A and B are shown apart, each in its own frame.
Chain A
Amino acid sequence: MSLQMKDLKIYDPKDFPAYLPKLNNLYEDLFLGGKGFRAKLIGIMARSLGLPHKTEHLLAQTIEFIHNASLLHDDLVDRSILRRGKVAAWTKYSPEYAVLAGDYLLARVMVNLSQFGNLKLVQLTAEVISDLLEGEWIQDSLVGDFSIELSQLDRVHHLKTASLFKWCLKAPFITIEKNDNSLHTVLEEMGSLLGLLFQRSDDLLDFNIRNTEEKAILGDLKSGYLNSFASFSTKHLKEKEKEKLKLCQNLNDFYHILGGESFFKEKVEEFDKMNGFLIQLYHHHLKTLDGFLSTAEEKTLIKQLEPLTQILYWRKTGS
């Protein structure tokens, strides 16, 4: 992936009115800590599809704006104190500023896309924002639910995480007017799978599995939220036992409730195996995607998209 966040200038103070107090400081804090993975995915797509640099920049900026707007709102809804190792915006500035800053990012997205003039792109983006909000609404109602099933969590993740990945795959094709329904159905399936794998891998970090980023352990559980791995691994527990999960302070507490560390490791293996099938499904759809690509340059996209599951799920570092 050639583009870096700083190259894309995803956030540029010139895009936002300097006369609005603290707004640019808020965005500085927010954007500079990000990995910009979604923007990098846009970069992969743009290179293979031969998008002009301006279009690539617009798409990368759009997705990062939407993603970061959702983070601003998420942190306030979840009452998370930290974001990317720094104090969350709603705590440092104010809840009102965090909400307005998120709204402003979404408004900028609409302004930029409407200036670009591709109606289908505007439609897709509006749907993604709507899905994100729906997912957030439902997720908020699930806090404290320690009996939630994996299939129910997947629905929320499809609306939240997966919808952004779907956008990253579909939007570049829309900008080059490749709007074939069958192509976009395949892209949607691939985006859903990538989003789901990414979310499940992120949920494993909470239990210190492949935690190279040194994410805080049991952050989700302590916030009263049962993530996908927690839901999967505690399926066999009775309701009363699940209630004890609320008191978990460290991994040893979790092992104890689950039935021991070796049982925990078995569950990790089972979870990985289950997601291994999703990876197989993703590669199957990748082969189908190949059939829709016409030029040699476009076909390089397949090779670029192949390692994504390794990066997103197994957390292996990509180029």
Chain B
Amino acid sequence: MSQLLTISKKDPHFEKYLMGSFSETERAIPLQSLNVNSESEQVTFQIHKISEIKRPSIFLLSLNLFKVHNFIWVSLPLFLVLSKAFIENEAVDPLLSLFSTLGVLFIYSALSLRNDFQDHLLGRDRILPYRRGNVIQKGWVTANSLKKISHYLLVIGILCGLPAFWSFPLSIGLVGLSTLLSLLFFNHLQGRSKYFLFIESFQFFLFGPLLTLGYHISLGIDYDEEVLFLGFLSGFLYLFSVHIKNFKHILVLSSANFKNTMSFFGFEKSKLILLLWWISFCVFFLYYHYEYASSFITFVFLWYILISSHQIYLILSSLRSPGGSEIIRACRKLHYISLILMSLWIFENIWYILFFLKE
């Protein structure tokens, strides 16, 4: 039988309950709070005995913990860089590339868990519907454990990066330092919504140029403008997905005073921003293909982009309310449109690889 306990944010024991470190035998699950992200926030916890909480299998727990579906945002740039290296017959040490890949994946897993931890501290998981089913809210893992796991993953990621650092100390050192500073800044600014532009810019770099260039260099290949361009595109597309997610929850996030580009501009202007963002991305994407890919491929993408842009325009212009099921359906469609483009991009590269192998 669970108990209820309400604690103010100002209470000295508040953090212990939020982090889950208040007891060895009990777990405090924060319930939905209406005054989240305010000075006067009070959180009501439901206290359960750990023995009463149904833990899932390790496999299911891992799937939920690491949100495997989000790995596409890291995997895509890595795949594009790796396939480019392969197609251009760059001399890449397989062991080095394996360690570098694992290093990136571990570091980004650590980032993802750290993000969940931050969301829990700030209260986003108490107000956002898709967050309410996360591993902390289900009582499977405490916030404290999540923080520890993210630290371990970060250390493992750095260790995996050591061979690359040993081989190219200056360039990897520079990339590593930039990444570390970005992460520190990002972490520091996370709780301060008014710096949302900086936060989103860091996200662009972390999932874009910093990722592709850093990985490219760790493979032992010299700086390449095309890789920078790839990074720009992947970062741009990643931010598009962030904007879609924030737009979907614009009502909740605005009410709770969580600032981001979507809540800053409001419902009507955000529709325009999303459309323009997509069109801008498509222009850069087509230019990239014009410069570096075949005309045929560029032509195929052009058709997809024209059709999808028109679709996005129709979806957004018919959207009436930030509060109903329409916006969920609209955002789902936008998400699928960008996923299809990513799939085509991956397929394009696989086609190049197969073509190269045939040659």
Tell me whether A and B are bound partners: yes
A288 near B6 with CB under 8 A, answer yes
Known: A185-B35, A188-B34, A281-B31. A148 touches B6 (CB 8 A): no
Query: Which of chain A's residues have a CB closer than 8 A to the CB of B251?
Result: 138, 155
Interface pair B325/A147, CB less than 8 Å apart:
yes
A151 at the interface (CB under 8 A from B): yes
Q: Which one, B184-192, B289-297, B316-324, is touching chain A?
A: B316-324
**Contacts of A189 on B, CB cut-off 8 Å?**
6, 34-35, 42, 44
Interface residues in A217-247 by Cβ distance below 8 A to B read none
> Which A residues, 95 to 149, have Cβ-Cβ distances below 8 Å to chain B?
138, 141-142, 145, 147-149
> B4 touching A141 by the CB < 8 A rule?
no
* A142 to B42 Cα, complex, angstroms: 31
**Do A155 and B325 have beta carbons less than 8 Å apart?**
no
Name B53-112 residues within 8 Å CB distance of A: none
B40 touching A145 by the CB < 8 A rule? no
Q: Judge whether B42 and A138 touch: CB under 8 Å.
A: no
Task: Decide: A188 and B321 in contact? CB cutoff 8 A.
Answer: no
Interface membership of A192, Cβ < 8 A: yes
Task: Kindly supply a per-residue 1/0 record for chain B positions 28-54, scoring 1 wherever the CB is within 8 Å of any chain A CB and 0 otherwise.
Answer: 000100110001111010000000000
Q: Is B169 an interface residue (CB 8 A)?
A: no
Specify which chain A residues have a CB less than 8 angstroms from the CB of B39 in the assembled complex.
Answer: 181
B316 → A minimal CB distance (Å): 15
A interface secondary structure, majority = helix
Cβ-defined partner of A148 (8 Å) among B40, B129, B324: B324
B252 located at the interface, meaning its Cβ lies under 8 Å from any Cβ of chain A in the complex: yes
Q: Is A145 a contact of B326 with CB atoms below 8 Å?
A: yes
A155-B129 CB under 8 A given contacts A185-B42, A188-B35, A284-B6? no
C-alpha spacing A148/B41, complex, angstroms: 28
Minimum CB–CB distance for A131 against chain B, Å: 10
169-192 of chain A: CB within 8 A of chain B: 181-182, 184-186, 188-189, 192
Give the distance in Å from the alpha carbon of A245 to the alpha carbon of B322 in the complex.
23
Size of the B side of the interface (Cβ < 8 Å), in residues, is 24
Residue of A138, A185, A186, A192 contacting most chain B CB atoms (<10 Å): A185
Q: A155-B251, A155-B252, A192-B34 are in contact. Are A284 and B44 (CB under 8 A)?
A: yes
On whether the beta carbons of B40 and A185 are closer than 8 Å, the reply is yes
A138 pairs with B323, CB closer than 8 A: yes
CA distance A155 to B252 in the complex (A): 8
A233: shortest Cβ distance to chain B, in Å?
16
Residue numbers in A under 8 Å from B23 (CB-CB): none
Q: Which residues 316-345 of B have a CB within 8 angstroms of A?
A: 320-326, 328-329
Decide yes or no whether A285 CB sits under 8 A from chain B: yes
B8 within 8 A of A: yes
With A138-B251, A145-B324, A145-B325 known as contacts, the answer to whether A182 contacts B40 (CB < 8 A) is yes
Q: Is A94 an interface residue (CB 8 A)?
A: no
Cβ contact within 8 Å between A152 and B44: no
Given contacts A155-B251, A182-B8, contact A149 B323 (CB under 8 A): no
Within the assembled complex, what's the spacing in Å between the Cα atoms of A184 and B326?
A: 35
Give chain B residues whose Cβ lies under 8 Å from the Cβ of A188. Answer: 34-35
Alpha-carbon distance A149/B129, docked complex (angstroms):
10
Q: Mark B237-256, 1 if CB is under 8 A from A, else 0.
A: 00000000000000110010
Instruction: Decide if B6 touches A285 in the complex (CB within 8 Å).
Output: yes
| Residues 192-210 (chain A) with a chain B CB within 8 angstroms | 192
B40 touches A181 (CB 8 A): yes
A155 partner residues in chain B, CB cutoff 8 A: 251-252, 255, 323
Chain B's nearest CB lies how many Å from the CB of A222?
A: 19
List, in ascending order, chain A residues with CB within 8 A of B35's CB. Answer: 185, 188-189
Chain A 256-283: CB-based contact to B (< 8 A → 1; otherwise 0): 0000000000000000000000001100
Known A-B contacts A182-B42, A188-B35, A189-B42; the reply to A142 vs B8 at CB < 8 A is no
Cα–Cα, bound, A155→B128 (Å): 12
Complex Cα distance, B325 from A139, in Å, reads 12
Which single residue of chain B is at the shortest CB-CB distance from A147? B325
Report if A38 contacts B (CB, 8 A): no
Residues of A within 8 A of B321 (CB): 138, 141-142, 145
CB atoms of B44 and A142 under 8 A apart: no
Q: How far is the CA of A288 from the CA of B328 in the complex (A)?
A: 37
Q: How far is the CA of A142 from the CA of B251 in the complex (A)?
A: 14
User: How many whole Å from B247's CB to the nearest CB in chain A?
Assistant: 15
Q: Give the Cβ gap from A187 to chain B, nearest Cβ, in Å.
A: 11
Given contacts A142-B323, A145-B326, A155-B323, is CB(A281)–CB(B44) below 8 Å?
A: yes
**Min C-beta distance of B268 to chain A, whole Å:** 12
Least distance between B129 CB and chain A CB atoms (Å):
5
Instruction: List A contacts of B41 (CB < 8 A).
Output: 185
User: Could you jot down 21 A-B contacts, CB within 8 Å?
Assistant: A138-B321, A141-B320, A141-B323, A142-B323, A147-B324, A147-B329, A149-B129, A149-B325, A149-B328, A155-B323, A156-B323, A181-B40, A182-B40, A184-B40, A185-B8, A185-B40, A186-B42, A188-B35, A189-B35, A189-B42, A284-B4
Known: A155-B251, A189-B6. 18 other contacts (CB 8 A): A138-B323, A141-B323, A145-B326, A147-B324, A148-B324, A149-B129, A149-B325, A151-B129, A155-B255, A181-B40, A182-B40, A185-B41, A186-B6, A186-B42, A188-B34, A188-B35, A192-B34, A284-B44
B residues at A contact (CB < 8 Å):
4, 6, 8, 31, 34-35, 39-42, 44, 129, 251-252, 255, 320-326, 328-329
Of all A-B residue pairs in the complex, the 7 with the closest CB atoms, nearest first, are A141-B321, A147-B325, A145-B324, A284-B4, A138-B323, A181-B40, A142-B324
